[in-house]
Amino acid sequence: MAMRECNPSDFEVEEEEETPSSSPSSISSPSSPLLYIDIDRHVAFLEMMYNLVPYHYQSQEINRLTLAFFTISGLHLLQALDRVDKDRVANWVLSFQAHPRSRAEVTNGQFYGFHGSRTSQFPPDENGVSAYNAGHLASTYCALAILKMVGFDLATLDKESILISMRNLQQPDGSFMPLHVGAETDLRFVYCAAAICFMLEDWSGMDIEKAKEYISNCQSYDGGFGLSPGLESHGGGTYCAVASLRLMGYIEDDLLSKNTSSSIINVPLLLDWSMQRQATDGGFQGRANKSSDTCYAFWVGAVLRILGAYKFIDKIALRKFLLTCQSEFGGFSKYPGGLPDIYHSYYGYTAFSLLEEPGFNPLCAELGMTDLAALGII
């Protein structure tokens, strides 16, 4: 796979502070924004990212697999997966997997998932010991998702090493660290662990009861979920909580239509918080009193889709907002009138898929990829 050693952001849910975009008030709107979704331009944008990543992404090199996920899954959403060499992509992704030297090493406290890039893939020392293995949960989620997209049979992976060592990352409170040393714990990595188990069809990699308890402790007084217990409700954290519970089987799909109640989380309060995130400009905000941002059309929109409440949003207004974020070069920006980046572009594509825009493959909301990839139909 022809990728330079540059990458966009990691598996982020707090993009509001970390994207180097200007605020809405400091951006001048384009003179003639497109009034329709131009799929050809977006495919060309993603093909550029697939073949030659702009140098602006150098600081994100450590997240190289995440960039590949956004690019390849974006092409799949746009029904253009034929633009990539599937066998080459699969072999490239597999080259990032960390492998123990023996079965005994699987329980040595390290995580034998996938590295995010060559930068974190240190060679063994003179004794053959990989003392600096940096397998990462988010990179492993992206790796497995890509492999599913290109039709690789995940049953042929050494999933036992992934799952057994992943249990080393779960903390006593049910949360997960993304790698075996020196990292934070929050809902992002609970989601990654749940998605990994779901894709590998094996839940031995986590204690789902402890994870469920941690998720329920993250629900705030207003109905949304903070990334950790006691933190402010956040669109990305809320998605990670709801999607994880859905993948683990604790809440039903299209919950509102089932006339059932969940004792795990406060669904009415969650629904109220989520619906309030659609702003007057039609876009979605990640937190109260924040500007609308392209990516939250997915993070919050997918929550509403899982709950069965997506029909209640103003789809026409959302579509108009997203079109103001569409770049003339292809891709989407964070705010109207900005330059496109691969992170917001991908979640712009997922948002249009949720809106059932012609030319887009349907989205599996809880896995963040196409239904076709989630079902293994490639």
Quick: pLDDT tens for 83-92: 999 999 999 9
In whole angstroms, what separates CA 147 from the centre of its chain? 15
Does residue 23 form part of some domain? no
Q: Which two tokens mark 223? A: 């109905």
Does residue 5 form part of some domain? no
What is the tens place of the pLDDT at every residue in 198-231? 999 999 999 999 999 999 999 999 999 999 999 9
- What's the CATH number where 57 sits? 1.50.10.20
Distance of CA 70 to CAs 137, 333, 357, 375, Å? 16, 14, 19, 19
What is the tens place of the pLDDT at every residue in 61-100? 889 999 999 999 999 999 999 999 999 999 999 999 988 8
Does residue 175 form part of some domain? yes
pTM: 0.90
Q: What does 65-100 look like in DSSP terms, one character per residue?
A: HHHHHHHHHHHHHTT-GGGS-HHHHHHHHHTTB---
- According to the model, what pLDDT value does residue 253 have? 78
CB-based contacts of 81, cutoff 8 Å, min separation 6: 72, 75, 149, 150, 378
105-109, 314-318, 361-365, range with the lowest pLDDT: 105-109
Instruction: Report which DSSP code applies to 328.
Output: T
- pLDDT range class, residue 127, cuts 50, 70, 90: low
What is the tens place of the pLDDT at every residue in 256-282? 877 666 678 999 999 999 999 999 999
Residue 159 has pLDDT above 50, yes or no: yes
Query: Is the dihedral angle over the CA atoms 190, 286, 73, 251 positive or is it negative?
Result: positive
In the predicted model, what is the mean pLDDT of residues 333-345? 95
- According to the model, what pLDDT value does residue 21 have? 41
Does residue 24 form part of some domain? no
**In terms of residue numbers, what domain contains 154?**
39-122+133-375
Q: What does 126-139 look like in DSSP terms, one character per residue?
A: TTS--TT---BHHH
> Buried b vs exposed e over 3-23: b needs ≥16 C-beta within 10 Å?
beebbbbbbbbbbbeebebee
Number of domains in the chain: 1
Task: Please name which of 97, 118, 120, 1 lies closest in space to residue 49, comparing C-alpha atoms.
Answer: 1
- According to the model, what pLDDT value does residue 109 have? 82
Instruction: Share the mean pLDDT of the chain.
Output: 88
At residue 284, the 3 state secondary structure works out as strand
Q: Which two tokens mark 88? A: 């080459």
Token match 């309030």: residue? Answer: 276
In the predicted model, what is the mean pLDDT of residues 152-156? 95
Q: What angle do CA 93, 96, 97 make, to 5 degrees?
A: 105
In the predicted model, what is the mean pLDDT of residues 305-329? 96
Largest CA distance in the chain: 63
- According to the model, what pLDDT value does residue 126 have? 67
Helical H runs in 95-202? 137-149, 159-166, 187-200
Residue 122 has pLDDT above 60, yes or no: yes
